[in-house]
Structure 1
Amino acid sequence: MHYYHCTFVLSVLAVSLLCGLGKPLSPPWDIMYMKHSWNAVPRNWESLGRPPTGTTIDLYISLKSQRENALVDTLYEVSEPGHPRYRAYLTKEQVAELVVPRPETLKLVNSWLEHHGISSSSISMTHGGNTLMLKGVSVTQANTLLGASYQLYRHVESGETIVRTVGYSLPVALHWHVLTVAPTTSFVSSRTQWQTPRTQNHSEGAMKSTSGEPATMLSSRAKVDFVTPSFLRWLYDTETYAPNTQGENVLGVVGFLGDYPSPTDLTAFMQEYRSEASDATFTVVDVNRGGYDPTHPSEEANMDIQYAEAMAYPIPHIFYSTGQGPSGTEEHLMSWLNYILDQENVPQTISISYNYEELALEREYAIYVCDQFAKLGVRGVSVLLSSGNDGVGEGTCQKDDGTVRFRPTFPGTCPYITVVGGTTDYEPEVAADLSGGGFSDYFKRPRYQEEAVTTFFQDLGNRYEGLYNASGRGIPDIAAQALRFRIFLNGNDQEERGTSIATAVVAGIISLLNDWLIMTGQEPLGFLNPWLYGRGFRGLNDITEGSNPGCGTDGFSAIAGWDPVTGLGTPNFRNMLEQLF
């Protein structure tokens, strides 16, 4: 799969006129240049032809900010221990001031929309002021506006349908003002990060020695027959901590794809595995017609809620049931971001278990979504996201030209999110072979990773050279148990696995750290990574064994220090607490 980004050779005078530095009476809106296109329908998607008559799209036009670096600069200032502004978080209104577009940008874009007959009543500002939302644009009008050809596409594996175009254009006058337009060329199918276990055989008891196992590259360690809250609370040292913030601290769990948790199953799970928390509950928020039917729960939603609650009880939990709009015209993730960024109050900790292959997205669209997560970080939110269950990539990972490229997952490759990989067993914990990891092709290595990733490359040498971007953001950042979990579904006790549950576990632990901070009159942790890489790693259990095979390779290996399998390691709550002082 390839993307093409046009370059323009224009005179200085033409650039001045078209970009608003001069004052042309009527910009030539019919001079269009390609913004982004695929050379073929992306992998695993097939066209079903034109969308049904009357299909409309809510278009989001991302405008470049007047202060280009202000958002990210502020994010690091409020997230880096030792900085004078550390944990001095911003309000929703203050974030909007950071990202406001240039006045000439708004004038040009509004003139373009007026030229195409877009009613001003259908236009609103969102995402802190640097995005225009066009409500209910007909597909015909969108095609004309963007020089596009929207069609209905179906994912050949999941059956999910979306309305997209394989290419779109903008007037040349807007290329320096508009970052991206969505939905257009990003073909994504939301993927949950859990897997049906390969075996359902269990014996009584939670742990056993593996000294009798066939010889492997791993050292002798203790194996977990099945993972329960009591085991996790012992392993990660949270069992003696009692939260005290009484509602000030909230943990959010994001759900897509009609995944719903069952309160009845949560009660049964707690009665079986953490009886003192049998009154645990959660609030459901319906986002963009996500719906809620607790009589038809899913594995994904149940496991996320059950383990987030099991780790963080009695901290209040919110489950966001998120839809994607009519006819698949909006990604679930964007639906949720649109909602959460518009709220005055947001949870201090958020767990997300869904992701996409990064290369299925337009680069500028990925940057746009990533910036929305930066806005959450500036407001003091810790976002945890799963790294994936396919090691360095699913299948052969062949590109259109026949070459192999590892396939890291987005939005985890965004530098402003904390990504969770997977481990298994104990004494010591080792990497779970499903743990997603790798390096972004779109985002450069963030400064907080410079030392840790450089050390990893010194060990790796030239292995896999050309299969990944050595200068890209590395994932994951942290890890937790990801195999042999017991959950309840429709009243039945069963086994599940995946970095999805690992993410919920880590989110629960971070919520406990936030609880302690709030209880002692301090601000929550917010964007975690500068603290994790700078000091917090001393509170983690370093994982030095195991690997994450994929793409027809053995994948990367866990080593001392950071690695693209288990990140910096797994949590030890008490030790992490000491690193807050």
Structure 2
Amino acid sequence: MADKHPLPGSERTVEQGSKVVGQCDPTERIEVFVMLRRKQQASFDALMSKIESGDPSVKPLSREEFARDYGAAPEDIAKVQAFAAEHGLTVVREDPAARSVLLSGTIAQFQTAFAVQLQHYEHHSAGQFRGRTGTISVPDDLHGVVEAVLGLDNRPQARPHFRIRPPFQPARAPQASFTPPQLASLYHFPQGDGSGQCVGIIELGGGYVNSDLKTYFASLGVHSPTVKSVGVDQGGNQPTGDPNGPDGEVTLDIEIVGAIAPGATIAVYFTQNSDAGFIDAVSRAVHDTTNKPSVISISWGGPESNWTNQSLQAFNSVLQAAATLGVTVCAASGDSGSSDGLGGDHVDFPASSPYVLACGGTRVTASGASISTEVVWNDGAGGGASGGGVSQAFPVPVWQEGLSSTDTGGSKTPLGGRGVPDVSGDASPVTGYSVLIDGTQTVVGGTSAVAPLWAGLIARINAAKGQPAGFINPKLYNTAGVCKDITQGNNGRFAASVGWDACTGLGSPNGQKVAAAL
């Protein structure tokens, strides 16, 4: 019997509020994907440090070049194939570029193969799921070869960051709503329709109805974009008919991107809400040689502390790949202020990855064709607020060195980790986006509206430039005045201040200045 080695970062504990409700059926078939180490890691790291410093000499790699130089080595894939054969597992799919091998087998086979015990758990908010505790183990042959094993557990990993405006009229602020083209105009987006670009949207459930999209774009006088559904790991476009559920997220994302960049193709990657599904969907979008998205919008996430280290690192390495391929990834920073829905200070992941453009929220008042006031989105207890703070998982990136966060007492602390968010935009449901979901005209807010807003802007810029803007964070931070600085409001622990802050980042977009900087 070969020695077993615990896989670093794979430790799972019983989540608070979860209890075991039964054993898993040993004959049930599941799919698990294995992520392998990268070829030429040292050379990849050197390339990444150039990209992070904003080195203008670095050109995006083609997906073919990336697969050749930085995918998984054929001999590593062969080791996984041999391991699968030994344990009676079937290889469903190999993707050398994404360094992933998808395996299928019974629960009993996987328990033996990775030395784990899978059980059914119940959690008051997450419902029933398959889970495990302790570490995953791999044999000698795979020790140092395998970086992550994902899908043994299928607990829900993320939540959508959108909020439908409550039906009552709050006394303290007049309500307003905007269509995406109105916001594009208020934010001085450059002209254009994103033609020739593809925007990828990641969804962990729900679906869209074509009649909604058709009616909505017609009502705006915008021609309907091409929308494609891409199923990942048994995911698919499955509308539930409930606008308050994930359909709200899916439809909101498509309608915002489509209204701002109707000439772009929109590829919607549907998957299951688990760490395995989420990571695989983003990976499939990044490495998609058919649709080739140049921008990806992610409106889902969960507190950093809810991720295992192996999931966090596996996901982050996919986002690094996006940066080398010239793909801009926009991610919502969360709707629960500085706590991210937990006690204390927490930031949301994947927004806290240094390789995404983290999108926070503001509340906008407009008069005529211009914005009269814009403050941090914070609608009070139960109303939602811009996610933001300081990462406990990722160090300060080069382009944030020397920055400080300001707390509500006014004291400044130098960043001890990656600061979130980078930018922001209108997110309050009180001044939200007018959309059509499951046949109902409704007003929606949340930072999940800001990620597709920025994605639409980048698609316009890419189309006008004829090449992808790629990883834009260094350029945004190194060019003064590309965003409108938000200096009023707070998100709980942190306050808006002059310059970057942990509520709204650099501020809301001046689209023409962003285009000039890129």
Amino acid of the structure 2 residue aligned with 1:159: G
Structure 1 distance, partners of 2:229, 2:72, is 34
**Is contact 1:46-1:156 (8 Å) kept?**
no
Does 2:515 match 1:577?
yes
Find the partner of 1:499 among 412, 431, 447. Answer: 447
Match of 1:94 in 2: 65
Task: Summarize the Cα distance change of 1:543–1:378 in structure 2 as closer, same or farther, 3 Å threshold.
Answer: same
Structure 1 distance, partners of 2:208, 2:102, is 33
**Matched position secondary structure for 1:59:** strand
**Is contact 1:283-1:317 (8 Å) kept?**
yes
Does 2:180 match 1:229?
yes
Match of 2:368 in 1: none
**Matched position secondary structure for 2:448:** helix
Cα offset for 1:264? 2.0
Match of 1:565 in 2: 503
Amino acid of the structure 1 residue aligned with 2:393: Y
Find the partner of 1:556 among 494, 500, 504. Answer: 494
Match of 2:382 in 1: none
Structure 1 distance, partners of 2:191, 2:250, is 26
**Matched position secondary structure for 1:496:** strand
Match of 2:456 in 1: 508
Match of 1:406 in 2: 345
Find the partner of 2:267 among 305, 318, 332. Answer: 318
**Is contact 2:192-2:261 (8 Å) kept?**
no
Cα offset for 1:149? 0.6
**Is contact 1:152-1:161 (8 Å) kept?**
yes
Match of 2:192 in 1: 242
Does 2:339 match 1:339?
no
Cα offset for 1:505? 1.1
**Is contact 2:387-2:421 (8 Å) kept?**
yes
Q: 1:295-347 deviations in whole A, cap 9, x for unaligned?
A: 836211121111111222233322223346xxx7x733133134324422421
Find the partner of 1:59 among 23, 32, 35. Answer: 32
Match of 1:400 in 2: none
Structure 1 distance, partners of 2:157, 2:37, is 27
Q: Superposed, which structure 2 residues align to 1:96-495 within 5 Å?
A: 96-100=67-71, 116-118=86-88, 122=91, 125-126=94-95, 128=97, 130-131=99-100, 133-159=101-127, 161-171=129-139, 174-184=142-152, 187-201=155-169, 225-238=176-189, 241-243=191-193, 246=195, 248-257=196-205, 259-272=206-219, 274-275=220-221, 277-293=222-238, 296=241, 298-323=247-272, 331-345=276-290, 346-395=292-341, 397=343, 405-426=344-365, 427-433=372-378, 434-451=385-402, 453-454=403-404, 461=411, 470-483=415-428, 484-495=432-443
Task: Summarize the Cα distance change of 1:409–1:45 in structure 2 as closer, same or farther, 3 Å threshold.
Answer: farther
Task: Summarize the Cα distance change of 1:261–1:396 in structure 2 as closer, same or farther, 3 Å threshold.
Answer: closer
**Is contact 1:193-1:353 (8 Å) kept?**
yes
**Matched position secondary structure for 1:568:** coil
**Matched position secondary structure for 1:47:** strand
Over aligned residue pairs, what C-alpha RMSD do you find?
3.3
Alignment TM-score, normalising by the size of structure 1: 0.77
Structure 2 distance, partners of 1:66, 1:561, is 40
Structure 2 distance, partners of 1:63, 1:359, is 24
**Matched position secondary structure for 1:441:** coil
**Is contact 2:87-2:113 (8 Å) kept?**
no
Task: Summarize the Cα distance change of 1:36–1:29 in structure 2 as closer, same or farther, 3 Å threshold.
Answer: farther
**Is contact 2:158-2:300 (8 Å) kept?**
yes
Does 2:497 match 1:534?
no
Structure 2 distance, partners of 1:378, 1:512, is 21
- How many residue pairs match? The answer is 498
Identity, % of aligned pairs? 24
**Matched position secondary structure for 2:400:** helix
Cα offset for 1:77? 3.3
**Is contact 1:323-1:335 (8 Å) kept?**
no
Structure 2 distance, partners of 1:112, 1:321, is 29
Q: Unaligned stretches of 5+ in structure 1?
A: 1-27, 203-212, 215-221, 398-404, 464-468, 550-554
Alignment TM-score, normalising by the size of structure 2: 0.85
Segment of structure 1 superposing worse, 374-383 or 311-320: 311-320
Segment of structure 1 superposing worse, 406-415 or 226-235: 226-235
